[in-house]
Chains A and B, each alone.
Chain A
Amino acid sequence: MAHRWGMAVDLDRCTGCEACVIACRAENNIPTVGEQQARMGRALHWIRVERYYEGEFPDVKVKFQPVFCQQCDNAPCEPVCPTYASYHNAEGLNAQVYNRCIGTRYCANACPYTVRFFNFFNPVWDRPFHLQLNPDVSVRQVGVMEKCTFCVQRIKAAEIHAHEEKRELKDEVLQPACVQTCAPKALVFGDLNDPESEVSRLQRSRRGSKLLAELGTKPKVTYLQRDQWNEKDA
């Protein structure tokens, strides 16, 4: 049976530490743009941690929420692309073919989650930083859109190894970079077609919901809301 990769984000476990953000940068050859470009909103973060303040001092509450490509089943970014650069692959991922992309940025306009990023310049790695680049991931050039791929290079490598060894791919051996480094285990990745997988179990949680579900984008990422401490609970 084909895989259908999905994620669950347990906001009760997430501490907002941003280890996922750097792990993603290291894995996916995401360049830094420097202070001036960052100030213009051109920093590239395939995953970000959003935080929301509520209330006034001293009764302040903060909520963290990691946001990345929701890999929608009904993705608004796909039909708007004139060159089929953003397309739906066989496993349901919203893939981006960099050498088809001509940089219309329609997809970024269409995406309600603002998780697509545009390369305003050719990326620069001051030498010898380039020695760290991951050879499994292509470096994007100027004029190209990019976004979270669920670390498709890791998915493909795992699938190819499983095929070589003539066994079925189980999701527990496969993790995107953000999930692998997440200390409180807030991020969980797996196969939604396997009802026994951890991610499927979490998607059925009473705390679960989708981001902007009302738009009908059918995201493959479920957010589990923060729990309340109940004095009698414990």
Chain B
Amino acid sequence: MERRDFLKVTVLTGATAALGGCEKPVQTLVRFLPEQDLVPGVAEWKPSLCTLCPAGCGLIVRIMPGDAEVLRNGKPGVVQMNLAKKLEGNPAHPINRGKLCARGQAGLQLTYHPDRIRNPLRRSGPRGAGAFEAVTWDEAMNQVVAKLHELQSQNQADGLRFLSGRLRGQRGGLVRTFLRAFGAPPALTFDPLDEPVLRRANALSFGVAKLPSFDLAYARYVISFGADFLGTWNSPVAQAIGYGEMRQGQAGTRGNLVQVEQRMSYTGANADEWIASRPGTEGAFALSLAHVILRDKLRPLSDSDATRLIPGWPSGLLDYAPTTVANLIGVPASRIERVARELASHPPAVVIIGGAPLAHSNGLFNAVAANALNSLLGSVGGRGGIYFSPQLPVGEVTDASENVVSGAQLPAELSAAKLLMLCGANPVFAAPPGWNISQALDKIPFIVSFASFVDETTSLADLILPDHSPLESWLDDIPESGSPTAIVTVAPPVVTPLHDTRAMPDVLLAIAHQVGGTVAKVLPAENFEQMLQSAIAPLQKISPDSALDPDKFWAKVQQQGGWWADGVKARPSAPTREKPLLNSTSPKFEGDAGKFAFFFQPYISQSFLDGALAHLPWMQELPDVLSTAMWGTWVEMNPKAAAALNIEQGDLVEVRSQEGNLRAPVLISPGIAPDLIAMPLGQGHKSLGRYARDRGANPMSLVAPIQVDEVGSLAWAATRVAVSKVGKAQLAMFSGGLFERPSELEQR
């Protein structure tokens, strides 16, 4: 404070005191420290990468020093360290351009979660009982290496299996190199959010086995078949940015969004027109639109790989005339005709398909039909259309399409394992009961997990080697979609590890070195940072920084959170010339329609995705935007269907399929077809810490193990269920009923 300000303050206070008795008291409260002399906390911002979903958004992390209670060498103490305070989108990152979704914002809680595994653990009771004891890193590493040596000496190196979620960037390359050198089969990937059907369809239609990107900002007409592209599907932040621009980004024009689905998704709630169609008929719908466009010659005739796949295309898709398929689709012929005309007369128009339409036995047909419609509309590769993001082949990166074991092969693969390494996959929770994952895991002699939390699958592990949290790790990613720019995201750790954990890639490298032989030879890098640096180094040649000192280039990459360049062309995969059988327009369902009256649609939760984020209290207390429910699961039902069964809001219902049954509160919702039951995924954990455990029900426990034809992935929307009322239930809701305004009275 300056002397003058001090005097001012003194004078004012003095005056107040003097006037006190006789005049009206001065009501201005005096601040003793002038505002401009306050010193705000000093924060540093460091780039990082969001790892919560496959989109791969860039982060900047607010870092401030603080005191943390930690255990070091078994002794408690207080250490001053950098702490992460807030996550924001990295403004320079081409995918999310400074923006972030709710889940990304909550990613901060992963690092400071009280239920994180703090040190290596060894199973100390029967498998699955959840009893673990602490061991040192040396003991744990020695045990893994001994087990690996044992496999080698017994000539059973092919008994090693690595099961993971989608491994990003160089992590995937490291695991692949390790397994190949050890003599084990490639890693198994289990990722319920993945869209293998769409990749396969895009390989067939466009010769690119990748998820698509969309230039929504310039689209004037968007028709989306089931894709929750604003909420959870593909690259939601990039798509939401494009959506905002489509609505109000250009003066005088505003894009139209039509959503076709059976249960109003969060994206459907934003649509200008919402069309309820029959489940699994999205392909027929797309071809019916194409029929009208072809018949009335609304667009020039298109002949491409995409249209050649469709039987009957050259003759104008006569089987798909609106009057013929209206009943099948459940949409009046006149409405199909109108949408087709609007679609054709508002270029650029784009078709999006994702989610439930691809999770039927005929999912591939639906996807290929939507691709053909895009091709007819001329929206492949153009402004306002669909395109494929360039992915630079950096280091030993695995292609996303390469090794996904998405289908029922998983249990068979697991039962061949002698030693399983587990990293970021939780199939015990997220796979259908018919796959018998627990039984398959039970037979594996030794399971090592790299998890940070004891989830359902890790609770079966014999040894846990806890990974750092993402903010404590070296991260890299080559995003598959979301931007026309070629991107390699690279981020150094932003905070010091809080607990006695080690980064999975570093542990795997250390294991490789200790195993010795070929494995040590092919992985000479001392640590993961070195691997990353040498993988990134070749990019310098094609960047404007080619004259820079290599170390300076590496520093620059770290500083901006990665490397990106415009004008890099997408590399098409080898064109696929196979002709899959694509004549099934109506999907198969498990369960007799007489006994199981409803279709069942589990959907990816806006808060928890497939359930991997259910342990974050911020996400648990976030009101679901359509229902305002918190801290629970619910069963969505149409008001008329509920009334017919004498079910009302507040009731507890039992949902049964041939696979199992569950109980949950009912939510009467106007946005769902009368013959459909929907449930959000994510709750119903038996493990995963104090906030997730024993809360709600897991809809996967009802899902039948039906496969998507020609792809083999899980058709998770192909189960039928029955519903009955069993009692009363309570569900925490932020607002009152669905039609009222939240008021204090109703909240009580």
Contact = CB atoms under 8 A, between A and B. Distances in A.
B256 A19 contact: no
Nearest to A67: B742
B744 A108 contact: yes
B247 A17 contact: no
A56 B630 CA distance: 25
Interface in A146-197: 153, 156-157, 159-161, 163-164, 177, 180-186
Nearest to A33: B621
Contacts of A22: 102-103, 105-106, 618-619, 622
A127 B114 contact: yes
Nearest to A130: B112
A129 to B, nearest CB: 5
A57 B88 CA distance: 39
Contact of A32 (B100, B247, B620, B623): B620
Contact of A45 (B111, B266, B623, B748): B623
Given A128-B498, A131-B68, A53 B739 contact: yes
A98 interface: no
A39 to B, nearest CB: 4
Interface stretch (B79-87, B196-204, B361-369, B530-538): B79-87
A214 interface: no
Interface residues of A, number: 75
A177 B86 contact: yes
Contact of B272 (A27, A56, A186, A229): A229
Contacts of A53: 670-671, 738-739
Interface stretch (A68-76, A132-140, A215-223): A132-140
A27 B88 CA distance: 11
Contacts of B731: 39
Interface string A8-44: 0010110111110111011100001111001111010
Interface in A111-137: 114, 126-136
B734 interface: yes
Nearest to A186: B244
A181 B269 contact: no
Contacts of B35: 156, 159-160
A115 to B, nearest CB: 11
Given A32-B621, A127-B69, A132-B109, A10 B248 contact: yes
Given A12-B248, A38-B631, A129-B114, A17 B68 contact: no
Given A15-B240, A21-B622, A131-B66, A183 B101 contact: yes
A64 B625 contact: yes
B670 A57 contact: yes
Interface string A50-69: 11110111101110100000
A49 B625 contact: yes
B342 A231 contact: yes
A17 B741 contact: no
A61 B39 CA distance: 49
A181 B741 contact: no
A13 B248 contact: yes
A134 B639 CA distance: 44
B98 A180 contact: yes
Contact of B743 (A12, A114, A136, A163): A114
Contact of A35 (B87, B252, B732, B748): B732
B346 A234 contact: yes
Given A16-B270, A127-B69, A183 B244 contact: yes
Contacts of A19: 99-102, 104-105
A84 B41 CA distance: 27
A183 B237 contact: yes
B623 A58 contact: no
B625 A131 contact: no
Interface in B419-470: none
Contact of A39 (B85, B346, B732): B732
Contacts of B742: 48, 50, 114
A133 B101 CA distance: 20
Contacts of A12: 247-248, 254
A56 B342 contact: no
A133 B86 CA distance: 9
Contacts of A131: 66, 68, 83, 112, 498
B99 A182 contact: yes
A17 B230 contact: yes
B670 A181 contact: no
A18 B83 contact: no
A184 B247 contact: yes
B632 A35 contact: yes
B40 to A, nearest CB: 4
Contacts of B254: 12, 227, 229-230, 233-234
A55 B670 contact: yes
B113 interface: yes
Contacts of B255: 229, 234
A126 B109 CA distance: 11
Contact of B102 (A21, A136, A156, A164): A21
Given A22-B102, A26-B108, A35-B732, A13 B88 contact: no
A43 B231 CA distance: 23
Nearest to A21: B622
A16 B100 contact: no
Nearest to B638: A57
Contact of A23 (B83, B100, B498): B100
A218 to B, nearest CB: 21
Which 10 A-B pairs give the minimum distances between C-beta atoms? Answer: A41-B747, A184-B244, A183-B240, A62-B269, A35-B631, A157-B40, A22-B105, A58-B276, A39-B732, A183-B99
10 contacts: A16-B625, A58-B673, A62-B264, A64-B269, A132-B83, A132-B108, A136-B40, A160-B40, A183-B101, A185-B241
Interface of A: 10, 12-13, 15-19, 21-23, 25-27, 32-35, 38-41, 43, 45, 48-53, 55-58, 60-62, 64, 84, 108, 114, 126-136, 153, 156-157, 159-161, 163-164, 177, 180-186, 227-231, 233-234
Interface of B: 29, 35-36, 38-41, 64, 66, 68-69, 83-89, 96, 98-106, 108-109, 111-114, 220-221, 230-231, 236-237, 240-241, 243-245, 247-248, 252-256, 264, 266-267, 269-270, 272, 274-276, 342, 346, 498, 606, 617-623, 625-626, 628, 630-632, 638-640, 670-674, 690, 695, 730-735, 738-739, 741-744, 746-748
